[in-house]
Amino acid sequence: MSRAADAVGIGDDETALLVGHGSRREQSNEAVRTLAAGLEDRLGVPTDAAFLELAEPSIPDAIETLAHGAARVTLVPLSLFAASHVKNDLPLAVKRARSEHPGVRFHAGGHLGIHPAILDLLDDRARAVETELGVDREDDDVAVVLCARGSSDPDSNADVHKLARLLYEGRSFDRVEAGFIGVTEPLLDDALHDVAKTRPDAIVVLPYMLGDGVLTGRIRDGADEFDAEYPYVDAAAGDPLGTDTRLLDVLSDRWQEARTDSVDMSCDTCKYKVELDGYEEDEGGARAMLRALTHQRAHEDRDDVADEPHAHDAPETHLAVCTNQTCAASGSPAVLETLRQAARDADADVHVTRSSCFDQCGDGPIVAQYPDGVWYGGCGDGDADRIVSAVERDRIVSDLVHQTL
């Protein structure tokens, strides 16, 4: 559908689900619930909150509750950019929901991304810091460092730079640069020192975060340390986005795009869709995992496989090998190839694929065995025969077990 499809009427049996990441800090979870309540008032449809991890309710539990009284459920992620949660976890949740509740229409929305309301919000956050520092961008040289979390997804990191550039356009800042608190470069400290070389009167550090958590605190500490080190430049950090009502403008748009099937994702630069320089080891990883775990209709056992060349039997076992940077450095490419060879030699009904990060860095190489939900850690290429042999005997290699899901 085109965006003209937003004429789709809102029914009495329609609901929305705002999906937050989840935190061990209840204050952060409560902020998600506050935004969900505000979104309900804005949309005029029942809106609940759910979480990817670390908080309740989970997405499946929330969907189970909503699906009994709704004909259409639209999931909207409370995510700043499109990384693995938006590209993999949310589609997986929707796929499962459609399978478990065939009478309900489910839609998945896009991330917050780059939106005029967010630019307006960041502009106000910057003005608050200027007032604190006693400077004015119209009369003084004021630079801005927009500091985000940082991601292993190039799309996400690129959008931070784009957002920084758009914040610069049409405003009287001396310059606006992007920085990160971790994972990728430039790190906040490096960005601040680089900006300091141009000797601005002040540097405004804007945490591009939703909540006021640990990372926001690290950004504030970084700004304070820089301010103490550079007496000729005043520097301070602003507040995160929080629950500002302008976020509801963005969420409303993302909800409408989703329910009318008008979501635009950045597939041309998605490392799960195309091969990008520097991310070759990630190509196909999480995408292959997602497909193997959710493509049930094509992977089910059938009698007419020969008549339908694009349908095929499900493998008895799927082994996914993390080949992301840390595991790769520990020898996971060799594990991948020896597992494939061991499966061929044994003529076993085992499908071996590469995967991106399992978030178990330092304990790899990691091999995940599905549908059993067994994770092996610290695997070497000499373990391939043992793993395949255990699969054939319906056993596990106990000394390699890292985590059983």
Cα(270)–Cα(88) distance, rounded to whole angstroms? Answer: 12
Instruction: Tell me how many domains the chain contains.
Output: 3
Cα(81)–Cα(270) distance, rounded to whole angstroms? Answer: 12
Q: Rounded to an integer, what is the distance from CA 188 to the centroid of its chain?
A: 21
pTM above 0.85, yes or no: no
Cα(342)–Cα(389) distance, rounded to whole angstroms? Answer: 9
Residues 105 and 253 in one domain: yes
Residues 153 and 251 in one domain: no
What is the residue whose two structure tokens read 């991601």?
151
Tell me the backbone φ, ψ of residue 32, rounded to 5 degrees.
-65, -40
Q: What is the pLDDT of residue 204?
A: 98
Residues 295 and 382 in one domain: yes
Cα(77)–Cα(66) distance, rounded to whole angstroms? Answer: 16
Q: What is the pLDDT of residue 9?
A: 65
Q: Chunked in runs of 10, what are the mean pLDDT values of the chain (405 residues)?
A: 45 92 90 97 95 89 90 95 79 88 93 95 98 97 97 90 97 97 95 96 97 93 96 96 97 93 63 54 48 42 42 71 84 89 87 80 88 88 92 89 65
Query: Which H/E stretch holds residue 402?
Result: strand 401-404
Q: What is the CATH number of the domain that holds 334?
A: 3.40.30.10
Residues 195 and 128 in one domain: yes
Cα(276)–Cα(82) distance, rounded to whole angstroms? Answer: 16
Q: What is the pLDDT of residue 247?
A: 98
Q: What is the pLDDT of residue 328?
A: 84
Q: What is the pLDDT of residue 266?
A: 57
| 187 close to 181: Cβ distance less than 8 angstroms | yes
Cα(59)–Cα(179) distance, rounded to whole angstroms? Answer: 32
Q: What is the CATH number of the domain that holds 31?
A: 3.40.50.1400
Cα(112)–Cα(4) distance, rounded to whole angstroms? Answer: 21
In a domain, 7, yes or no: no
- Which among 305, 392, 399, 398 is positioned nearest to 345, based on CA atoms? 392
Range of the domain at 132: 116-237
Q: What is the pLDDT of residue 267?
A: 52
Cα(359)–Cα(58) distance, rounded to whole angstroms? Answer: 19
Beta strands at 47-51 and 72-77: parallel, antiparallel or unpaired? unpaired
Residues 217 and 286 in one domain: no
Residues 311 and 386 in one domain: yes
In a domain, 78, yes or no: yes
Residues 84 and 149 in one domain: no
Cα(62)–Cα(366) distance, rounded to whole angstroms? Answer: 31
Residues 45 and 122 in one domain: no
Residues 123 and 224 in one domain: yes
Residues 374 and 300 in one domain: yes
In a domain, 334, yes or no: yes
In a domain, 1, yes or no: no
Residues 329 and 255 in one domain: no
In a domain, 3, yes or no: no
Cα(102)–Cα(291) distance, rounded to whole angstroms? Answer: 20
Token pair for residue 52?
A: 């990817």
Rg (CA), the chain: 24
Cα(275)–Cα(282) distance, rounded to whole angstroms? Answer: 8
In a domain, 83, yes or no: yes
Cα(370)–Cα(288) distance, rounded to whole angstroms? Answer: 13
Secondary structure tally for the chain: helices H, strands E? 14, 13
Token pair for residue 18?
A: 């705002």
In a domain, 211, yes or no: yes
Q: What is the pLDDT of residue 283?
A: 43
Residues 321 and 360 in one domain: yes
In a domain, 330, yes or no: yes
Q: What is the pLDDT of residue 281?
A: 55
